[in-house]
Structure 1
Amino acid sequence: MAPRVLVSDKLSPTAVQIFKDRGVEVDYLPEIGKDKEKLLEIIGKYDGLAIRSATKATEKMIAAATNLKVIGRAGIGVDNVDIPAASRRGIIVMNTPFGNSITTAEHAIALLFAVARQLPAADASTQAGKWEKSKFMGVEITGKTLGVIGAGNIGSIVCARAIGLKMRVVAYDPFLSKERAGEMGVEKVELDELLAQADFITLHVPMTDKTRGILDAEALAKTKKGVRIINCARGGLVVEADLAEALKSGQVAGAGFDVFEVEPATDSPLFGLPNVVCTPHLGASTTEAQENVALQVAEQMSDYLVRGAVSNAINMPSITAEEAPILKPFIRLADVLGSFAGQVTESPIKQIEILYDGATASMNTKALSSALLAGLIRNQVADVNMVSAPIMIKEKGVVLSEVKRDKTGVYDGYIKLTVTTERQSRSVAGTVFSDGKPRFIQIKGINMDADVGAHMIYIANTDVPGMIGFMGSTLGDANVNIANFQLGREKENGDAIALLYVDKLVEQDVLDKLTAHAAIKQAKPLVFNID
C-alpha cells in the first residue's frame, strides 16, 4: 500500500505533485490545520504530515496520529511541533533549514533601510495629504557600523549585503573564528564591544537560554546613543518593554521588528512609538522562499516514506535502515562526546579532530561525525540537526579533520574528540559497552571509566587530599544526591578531574561553593539527552 500524506497548510501545487510523482498518496487540505478537532479526527489515517506554521502538532495530536511516521515542516522553525512527544512515538521531524535564508536576510536589510529613513511613517503622512518633508529626517547607512549578533547562515548573508552597502560590519558570535571573520570581511568582537560601536544592530541567533533577552535594559544601556535595532530572528531576544523605554529616552533612535515575544502580536510595548517599523513575521514571506521550502519538504518526506532515506531530521540521525541497529548506540555516544565538549568549551573553536579507533573506523563515520558536531554546537544553536551541523561548522571557518586507525588499545573501538580553541586544546573519548550505553573513558588525557547520566558535574582540580569529602559534603548540604562518582588524575599532586552523575540539575550557588575551594579550577553542570 502506498504511503499517505496529509498537507494541512498551504503548499504550492508543485510540492503536491512531487508527492504524487514519487508514488505517495496525498490529501491537500490546507485549511484543516486551523481546525484542531477535525485534524484529531483524521490524522490517524496518515503516514506523513506536511505543515507550515498554522498547524500545531501538539502532544494530543501526535497521540492520535497512530500511523504517523514523519512530520515535515516547510521552513526552519519547529516551535509548532512537540518534538519530545514526536520522538517518544518514533515520529521523525524534518525541517528545511536553509530555504528561507536569503529571504530573511533581505527582510532584515529592508527593515534597516525603513528605520534609517522612516519610510512607513513618511508614506502614511504623504498619502494622508500632508507634506511633512522636514519631519522625516533620516540617516545614511554608508560608512555606518552594523553590529551583527549571530554570524551563521542568515547572519553571514546580512554581513555580505551590508559590506556591499559600504557599511563597516562587526560581528559577535562565539563560534566565529578570527580567520573566518577575516574571510567574510567583518571584525569579530565581544558583545559589549559591539554594543558600544554599532550604529545599527541586527540579531540572527536562535532562541536559547543564553540568547533569551540578550538585549535587555542592561545591554541597551551599553549601546551607542541613537542606535537603531533590527530583529528578524526570534521574538524574545530583545526585551520589548526595555526597548520601549530606551526608545522613549532617546537611547535608541529606532527599531525594526518582524518577530515578537507573543505571536500573533496584537499588542506590544513597541506599538505606536515613533520610528518603530513592525511587520507580521514576514521574514520568510517571498514567493521564492515559500516555493523552495515547499518543494524541499515534499522531496525529503517522499524519500523517507518510499526509500527510507532520512535528511534534515531534527530528532533522527541521517542513516540507512541497514546501518541503524549497529550505528544507533555509537550515534548516541558521538552526540554525548560533542555535547560534553560544547558545554565545557567557552571560547571560539578553531579546530576539531575526531579520531575513530578500531571498530568505529569501519562504521559510517559521516553519520557519527554529524551527530558529534550537532551535539557540539547544540548549546549555541538549539535547532541544529545532523545535516545542518557540518555546514554550520564549515561556515564558521572551523578546521575539521577525521582520523581512522586500527585498534590500538584495550577497547574494540572508541571515538576521541579533540577541540582546539584560541586558549587551549581539550579532548574527550568514549566507547560503547555490551549494554549499548555510552561511557567516558578519557578526558583531557586522563583515563577513567564513567557512566553518562542526564545530569552531571564536571570538575577540574588539583590532586590534593580531601577533595572527595569536600565535593560530597558540599553537594550533600545542597540536597544533591550523587548516583555515581568517578575520579582520574594525571599524577600525584597534578591535574585531576571528577565526573559526578547526580539526580538533578545543580544550581549555580552550589557550583560557586565548589569553585570557592582553592584546588578546584572549574565546575561545570552538564546535561545530556540519554533517552
Structure 2
Amino acid sequence: MSRKTIVVCDHIHQSGLDILANDSEIELINAADEPKDKLVSEIIPLADVAITRSSTDVDDAFLAAAKKITAVVRAGVGVDNVDIPGSSKQGIVIMNVPTANTIAAVELTMAHLLSCVRKFPYAHNNLKLDRVWRRQDWYGTELKDKKLGVIGFGNIGSRVGKRAKAFEMDVLAFDPYIDPSKATDLDVAYTKNFEDILACDIITIHTPKNQETIGMIGSEEIAKMKDGVILINCARGGLYDEDALLEGLKSGKIAMAGIDVFNKEPATDHPLLDLDNVTVTPHLGANTKESQRNIAIQAAENAIAAVKGISYPNALNLPIKENELPDFVRPYLELIQKMGHLSAQVTKSAVKSIKVTAEGPVTEYIESMGTFATVGVLTESVGDTVNYVNVEFVAEDRGIEILKETKPNTSGFTNKVALKLTTVESTITIAGTVFDDTVQRIIEIDDYTLDVEPKGTMIFFRNTDTPGVIGDVGHILASNELNISDFRLGRDNKKQALAIVRVDGQISKKVLDELSSLEACISVSYATL
C-alpha cells in the first residue's frame, strides 16, 4: 500500500505533528512556515488530506490546486475561511474540531465572571502598574446567591451552569431547543420565557451565531434588565448589540461586562476598550495549552481516519461528485434541508421527532433525504456542531426519533417530499417539490396549499379568514419600514388562513408584537433562509 500524504498548512501543537509523523502509512509534510503562494502552487497538489487553521484559505486557488485531496481538516471550530460548497462539488470533505476547546471556553467564561464581580483587572493594574495601594476603591460583589441567566445550554452553557452552582449561585437556563430535563437534572432551573433571563443579576450567552441570535440582546432587552446587571460574552461576536452594550455600560445600567469576542476582529480600536467597567480579552476562548493540544490531536486523528477511508469525524458537508448523483436529486436534498431549517425556526421548541416522506423517483434517496432534513432541523439549535456524519448520533442523544417513509406517487407531481416536525409544543408539516429541474417550491404547510419560494426572511401569519387582515398586516410592516417582496396566501375549510410574507429586512420583536395584537391573529412567527 502506497503511503498517503497529509499536509499541515498552519501551525498546530507538536503532539498532533507527532501522531502524524509516527504513522508508518502517512507521509507528513509540515508546510506551516512555507509562503502561501508556494504552499498552494507546489505543496497542495501533493496532498491527499490537508490540515488548516485560519491562516490558510480554502478558496478557489486552493481547490484548483487540490487535485488529489479528499478531505480538509480545519483544526478548530470556525470555517469562515473555507469554501464548503466549492469543496463539496469537488468531492472534498470538510471537517472541523468543534469540542476540543469546550473546557477552555467554559473556564474563560468563569474568569470573566469573577473578574467582573471583583474588578480584578483594575485592582491588579492599580497596584502593579500604578503602585497604588487603595483597597477601598475595589469593593466587589459575591457570586453566592446571585442569579445567573445562561442563554444557550449546550456543551459550554451547561458546563458554565454546573460550575456556577459550585459557587452557590442560583442558575436559570434558557434554551428552547433542549429538553428541560437537561437543565433540571443539573439542579438548574429552566425557563421558556426570555423575560425571566432579563431579570437575572448576571447573564452569559452561549448560542450559535445565526439570524435568530445576532443582536438578541439589544437596547430593548437591556432596558428591561436590573440596574447594575453584569453581561458576559465568550461565545460569538455580535450576539450582543455592541452599540446598545456601549450605551448601557456608559449609563451604568450595566455595571460590568466581560467580553472575549467582537463583531469585527481584531478589535483594537473598539470604543468598549475605553470604558473602565469592561474586562476584555482578544478572543482567547480556545487559547489554553490543553485545548491547543486537544485540537491538534483530534485534527491529526481525524486526518488519518479520513486519508485511510475509515471515517470522516465531524464532517460539515457531504462530498457530492457530479458523476455520482443524478442531477434531479441535488435540489431535493437542498429543499428538504431548507424545509427542516424553516420548520425548526417556526416551532422554536425541543424536537421530539422528524418524519420525512417522499413520492416519485426521489424515493430511492430517502435515506439521504432523512439525513439532510435532520441537519436542517438541528442546525437551528446546535449550530456547526451537527453535520451529515454525526447527525443521527446527535439526534439520538437528544431523544429525537427520525422516521422515513416512501409512498406511491399520487400527488400529481413528478416528485414530492414532505417533512413533519413534532416538538414538545406543536407539530408542523411542510411539503415541497422542484419544477423545471431546479426551481424549489414549498407547496403545502399543514392544511394550507401554497406556492412559496424557500428563501429570504419570511413571516408566517395564521389568522381567522376575515376581511381587512391583509391590509392590517401591510400597514404594520410599512410602518416598520419593511418592504414586502412576496405575499402568498393559503386558506382552509375552517375559515382560517395562512399568509407567508417575504420582506426585505430584519424582523424585530416589535413587529411580531404588533402583528400578534391584531384581533384576527391566531399565531405569528418568522424564519430566515
- Residue in structure 2 matching 1:279, options 274, 278, 281: 281
Whole-angstrom CA distance in 2 between matches of 1:106 and 1:81: 28
Contact 2:313 2:389 in 1 (8 A): yes
Query: What secondary structure, in the 3-state scheme, does the structure 2 residue paired with 1:193 have?
Result: helix
In structure 2, distance between residues paired with 1:406 and 1:2: 44
Give the 3 Å change call, closer, same or farther, for CA 415–8 of structure 1 in structure 2: same
CA contact (8 A) 2:353 2:423 kept: no
Confirm or deny that 1:116 pairs with 2:121: no
Q: Using the alignment, how far apart are the partners of 2:500 and 2:244 within structure 1?
A: 40
Deviations 1:131-184 (A, max 9, x none): 222222121101111111211221111111112221111222232344443234
Aligned residues: 510
Q: Which residue number corresponds to residue 263 of structure 2?
A: 261
Q: What's the offset of the Cα at 1:410?
A: 3.8
| Aligned partner of 2:221 among 214, 219, 222 | 219
Structure 1 counterpart of 2:195:
192
C-alpha contact (below 8 Å) 1:22/1:302 kept by paired residues: no
Larger deviation, residues 210-219 vs 220-229? 210-219
- 1:188: how far off? 1.5
- Tell me which residue corresponds to 1:247: 249
Distance 1:424 1:527 in 2: 20
Question: What are the superposed Cα offsets for residues 288-332 of structure 1, whole Å, 9 maximum, x if unpaired?
Answer: 222222222222233233317333122327x99999779867644
User: 1:74-110 deviations in whole A, cap 9, x for unaligned?
Assistant: 1211223243444454433211121211221111012
Q: CA deviation at 1:14?
A: 3.5
> Is residue 143 of structure 1 aligned with residue 175 of structure 2?
no
Q: Does residue 1:71 correspond to 2:72, yes or no?
A: yes
Percent of aligned positions that are identical: 34
In the other structure, the counterpart of 2:349 is 348
Query: Which residue among 415, 419, 422 is the counterpart of 1:420?
Result: 422
State whether residues 176 and 192 of structure 2, in contact with CA within 8 Å, keep that contact through their aligned partners in structure 1.
no
In the TM superposition, residue 445 of structure 1 has moved relative to its aligned partner by 4.8
Higher mean C-alpha deviation, range 202-211 or range 410-419: 410-419
* Residue identity in the other structure for 2:372: A
The one-letter amino acid paired with 1:112 is L
Paired with 1:51 and 1:444, the residues of 2 have a C-alpha distance of: 45
Larger deviation, residues 180-189 vs 248-257: 180-189
Give the alignment of 1:287-366 within 5 angstroms: 287-307=289-309, 309-316=311-318, 331-332=333-334, 334-345=336-347, 347-354=348-355, 365=367
Query: What secondary structure is seen at the aligned counterpart in 1 of 2:256?
Result: strand
Residues 158 and 507 of structure 1: CA distance in aligned 2, closer, same or farther (over 3 Å) = closer
Using the size of structure 1 for normalisation, the TM-score is 0.78
Find the aligned partners of 1:507 and 1:113 in 2 and give their Cα distance: 35
Deviates more, 1:47-56 or 1:320-329: 320-329
Alignment of 1:232 with 2:231, yes or no, is: no
Cα deviation code 1:174-232 (max 9, x no counterpart): 32344443234222243332122x21111111222332222333332222111222111
After TM superposition, give the deviation of residue 375 of structure 1 in Å.
0.5
* Contact 1:5–1:24 (CA under 8 A) maintained in structure 2: yes
Q: Once superposed, what is the RMSD of the aligned Cα atoms?
A: 4.5
Which residue of the partner structure matches residue 160 of structure 1?
162
| Shift of residue 368, structure 1, vs aligned partner | 4.6
CA contact (8 A) 2:228 2:255 kept: yes
Distance 1:444 1:145 in 2: 41
The corresponding residue for 2:480 is none
**Is the partner of 1:123 in helix, strand or coil?**
helix
How many angstroms does 1:11 deviate by? 1.8
Aligned to 1:50: 51
1:8 equivalent to 2:9? Answer yes
CA shift for structure 1 position 28: 0.9
Q: 2:401 matched to 1:401?
A: yes
In the aligned structure 1, how far is the partner of 2:429 from the partner of 2:463?
16
Q: Secondary structure at the match of 2:32?
A: coil
* Aligned mates of 1:499, 1:360 — CA distance in 2: 27
Paired with 1:370 and 1:264, the residues of 2 have a C-alpha distance of 37
Change in CA separation of 1:331 and 1:297 when aligned onto 2, cut-off 3 Å: farther
Bigger CA drift: 200-209 or 374-383? 374-383
Q: SS of the counterpart of 1:304? A: helix
Q: Distance in 2 between matches of 1:144 and 1:71?
A: 45
Shift in Å, 1:59: 4.4
Gaps of 5+ in 2: 478-482
What are the superposed Cα offsets for residues 362-391 of structure 1, whole Å, 9 maximum, x if unpaired?
A: 9784x6544222201334554342345556
Structure 1 residues 305 and 460, CA, compared in 2 at 3 Å: closer, same or farther? Answer: farther
Secondary structure of the corresponding residue to residue 418 of structure 1: strand
| TM-score, length of structure 2 as denominator length | 0.78
- C-alpha displacement at 1:50, in angstroms? 0.9
**Cα shift at 1:488:** 6.6
Task: Report the 3-state secondary structure (helix = DSSP H, G, I; strand = E; otherwise coil) of the residue aligned with 2:235.
Answer: coil
Select the residue among 29, 32, 42 that pairs with 1:30: 32
Find out whether 1:371 has 2:372 as its counterpart. yes
Q: Is 1:43–1:65's contact at 8 Å kept on the other side of the alignment?
A: no
SS of corresponding position for 2:342: helix
Is the contact between residue 208 and residue 380 of structure 1 (CA under 8 Å) also seen in structure 2?
no
1:428 partner SS: strand
CA distance in 2, matches of 1:449, 1:443: 7
Q: 1:38 to 1:334 in 2, by over 3 A?
A: same
Q: Which structure 1 segments of 5+ residues have no match?
A: none
User: 1:361 and 1:406 mapped to 2: Cα distance?
Assistant: 6
Query: Cα gap change, 1:194/1:459 in structure 2, threshold over 3 Å: closer, same or farther?
Result: closer
Match of 1:41 in 2: 41
**1:79 aligned partner, one-letter code:** D
Distance 2:492 2:214 in 1: 39
Q: Which moved more, 1:125-134 or 1:108-117?
A: 125-134
